[in-house]
Chains A and B, each alone.
Chain A
Amino acid sequence: MDDQACPRCKTTKYRNPSLKLMVNVCGHTLCESCVDLLFLKGSGSCPECNVPLRRSNFRVQMFEDPMVEKEIDIRKRVLKDYNKKEEDFETLREYNDYLEEIETIIFNLTNNIDVVNTNKRIEQYKKDNREIIMKNKVKIGQEELELEEILEIEKQMEELRRTEVVRLELEAKKQKIREKEALIDELMFADGDAKEILNTFAQNVASKQEEAVPPLPLVTQFSTGVKFTCGSAQSHLPVIEEGPLYRYEPPITPDRIGPDPPTIEEIINEGYLQHVKAENDTEKAGGYTSTLPCLRALQDALAGLYHTS
């Protein structure tokens, strides 16, 4: 790291620990202060290769070798257009050839071999495959969006879990303090043996610890109840909690203050129906049977016969 230095002002990391090296598309480094100086107007040429550069394209150098940075840049640019996927090819061989071609182009551009022809090749490719490129761009965009969403949600869940842990810890601490105070109060005002009080408190604490803090709910779900691994084969069914089963209790029949009327079965079987108007077909269609009116008349006749005031 010590030999990292700005090629222009020769400042090293050793002399200036806050030295930040920047790199642009051409792959040549400059320190931050030199960039500020040279690109005051927003654009200028590289002091080493005279390639015209823009200031907004400078970024912090991540790798020690600036050529890697250059390659990353070029790869990004090339892959924007060469965005075909395996599905777009008929055979594996064709796909591999395609990958090989990409690598060749990137290598050429990075090492300045046959730049003009390579650029022409890219242009030609763009023209030939415009439709596929556009389609794949949209597809990739969607995939990226989904990924981002998942990341965002994971972050939120993590945050929730952290606050929960903090809260629980705080509560535990408070509980401990309360217990201590209670113990002291007890020792101060109770008449019992001090040792005994200490013992009972120790037992209490022990039993409480046994109860233990309920384990934190595992973060495996979004707040909507959808699992993180959404779209995977195992679909998640919500578990419905079941209460106790409903038990039917027949309503209490009030005291009729009279003899018991016959039941519906008795009305049907013991010939009561012979003495009431039978239902006709039209009434039957509506669900009417003469049994219930017959029962009602009998009930009304017998209810209240024992009445006294």
Chain B
Amino acid sequence: MFSTSTQRKFWTFSDETELARLREKHNLQYISKHGSNTDEYQPYNIFLSPEEEGLLLKQYELHMKEFCKRFSPPMPKGVVGTAFHYFKRFYLYNSTMDYHPKEILATCVYLACKVEEFNVSIGQFVANIKGDREKASDIILNNELLLMQQLNYHLTIHNPFRPVEGFLIDIKTRCTLPNPERLRSGIDEFLEKVFLTDACLLYAPSQIALAAVLHSASKEQENLDSYVTEILFIDAGPDKLAILIEAVRKIRSLVKMVENPVRERVKIIEKKLDRCRNQENNPDSEIYKRRMRETLDEDDMPYSGTSRMSLDTSGVTQVLSPSAS
């Protein structure tokens, strides 16, 4: 149940400024750690600004959406939703400069497949990735434990998909709306866009689902306001209704504001990122390769399997608690 979940307790925030503050904090943390010999007054000549990081993440969220569509048999919506949750949560407490989003993206999807019981082996999984598949599977397996640690092992995600089904059943049963099934296409479209916003870090899944249903209804020129006020919230006070109306309004406006980042802008950012990213976590860098060799040498052959894990988690110096910040 959402009300008692870690999702509500640790991963649902009060408003967007809180999210922005968290992201800026970890951006600055990275710069202060790695930018000792740069111009103090204009660090963003070299490093990414929080705004640039945001744009980059938006772009990679689009990539993630495309990537998830590549699977055959098609991936259930719940897996995609869970992967989006993981991705957003990870970059609340980490900078894109520390861990490259393209690596975390694949790891998030892989972990979501496991958690949501969509059975894909690592071999089948990397078959959907362009480029060097062996390297990709290495990266994913290396990052998997890191990702779980950064999520504080809060792996259960409450997605808005089942609440949507619940609302449709309830509307069919208690409401006179003709043919509610026609709302579905609008709902799906809305939910797809919702995951490109921060709504899932701010609102309950049922609120998002209701927003989707109401949005789709208004698109079909139907009005479900009476369903909400006279059936759903009949026993609740007006204060609670006000909260819900505000939440729905906010979610809809968030979705409305979704726009794809400009291609050229993102390309520039990616180039900048290549220069300022943490080379210790870049699998192509000399530092990374040397460290890999060292750990392999240190551990004897029987441990070579686990050396991979110890290698990557060694880069994580602090265990983050979302409640602590």
Question: Which residues of the other chain, A, contact B236 by a CB distance below 8 angstroms?
Answer: 259, 306
With A272-B173, A297-B163 as given contacts, are A302 and B206 in contact (CB-CB < 8 Å)?
A: yes
Report how far A115 CA is from B8 CA in the complex, Å. Answer: 111
Stretch at the interface among B197-205, B252-260, B304-312: B197-205
Q: B135 in the interface, Cβ–Cβ < 8 Å?
A: no
The 5 closest A-B pairs by CB, nearest first: A301-B166, A304-B204, A297-B166, A307-B204, A275-B172
Q: Are B244's CB and A305's CB within 8 A?
A: yes
Q: Tell me, rounded to whole Å, the shortest Cβ–Cβ distance linking B184 to chain A.
A: 13
* Contact assessment for B206 and A275 in the assembled complex, using a CB-CB cutoff below 8 Å: no
Q: Which B residue's beta carbon lies closest to that of A308?
A: B243
**A258 part of interface (Cβ distance < 8 Å):** yes
**Is B1's CB under 8 angstroms from A256's CB?**
yes
Which residues of chain A from 290 to 309 have any CB-CB distance to chain B below 8 Å in the complex? 294, 296-309
Interface string of B240-257 (1 = CB under 8 A from A): 100110010000000000
Residue A214, interface by CB 8 Å? no
User: Which among B1, B169, B202, B235 is the interface contact of A303 at CB below 8 angstroms?
Assistant: B1
B166 / chain A contacts, CB cutoff of 8 Å: 296-302
Interface string of B108-129 (1 = CB under 8 A from A): 0000000000000000000000
B162 near A296 with CB under 8 A, answer yes
Measured CA separation A256–B2 after assembly (Å):
8
Residue A243 is within 8 A (CB to CB) of chain B in the complex? no
Q: Check A300 against B12 for contact (C-beta < 8 Å).
A: no
29 pairs of residues in contact across A and B, judged by CB atoms under 8 Å: A257-B2, A257-B3, A259-B233, A260-B235, A274-B173, A296-B162, A297-B162, A297-B165, A297-B166, A298-B169, A299-B1, A300-B2, A300-B158, A301-B163, A301-B164, A301-B170, A301-B206, A302-B206, A303-B2, A303-B204, A304-B204, A304-B205, A305-B207, A306-B240, A307-B2, A307-B3, A307-B203, A307-B204, A309-B202
- Chain B residues lying within 8 Å of A255, measured Cβ to Cβ, are 3
Complex interface: chain B residues within 8 A of A256 (CB): 1, 3
CB-based contact A259/B4 at 8 Å: no
Query: Could you tell me if B243 and A298 are in contact, using CB atoms closer than 8 angstroms?
Result: no
CA distance A259 to B14 in the complex (A): 22
Best-surrounded residue of B202, B204, B207 (most CB of chain A within 10 A): B204
The verdict on A298 contacting B3 (CB below 8 Å), with A304-B206, A309-B13 known, is no
Kindly provide the distance from the CB of B20 to the nearest chain A CB, expressed in whole angstroms: 15
Q: Is there a chain B Cβ closer than 8 Å to A271's Cβ?
A: yes
Most A CB contacts (10 A, CB to CB) among B165, B167, B235 go to: B165
Docked CA distance A306–B228 (Å): 13
The CA-CA distance from A301 to B168 in the complex, in Å, is 9
Question: Interface residues, chain A, CB within 8 Å of chain B?
Answer: 254-260, 270-272, 274-276, 294, 296-309
Write the chain B residue with the least CB distance to A258.
B206
Tell which of A255, A294, A305 has the most Cβ of chain B within 10 Å: A305
Q: A307 contacts which chain B residues (CB < 8 A)?
A: 2-3, 8, 12, 203-204, 206-207, 247
- The one of B12, B167, B244 that contacts A301, using a Cβ cutoff of 8 Å: B167
Q: Which residue of A lies closest to B7 (CB)?
A: A304
| Most chain B C-beta atoms within 10 Å of own C-beta, residue among A270, A297, A303, A304 | A304
Which A residues are in CB contact (< 8 Å) with B247?
307
Chain A, residue nearest B14 (CB): A309
Complex interface residues of chain B between 1 and 23 (CB less than 8 A to chain A): 1-4, 8, 12-15
Q: What separation, in Å, do the CA atoms of A256 and B165 have in the docked complex?
A: 18
A305–B162 contact, CB under 8 A? no
For chain B residues 165-183, which have a beta carbon within 8 Å of chain A?
Answer: 165-170, 172-173
Q: What does the 1/0 interface line of B124-164 toward A look like (CB < 8 Å)?
A: 00000000000000000000000000000000001000111
Chain A residue contacts of B1, Cβ below 8 A? 254, 256, 299, 303
B211 to chain A, nearest CB (A): 11
Chain A residues near B163 (CB-CB < 8 A): 297, 300-301
Contact: B170 with A305, CB < 8 Å? no
The answer to whether A294 touches B8, judged by C-beta atoms less than 8 angstroms apart, is no
CB distance from A253 to the nearest CB of B (A): 9
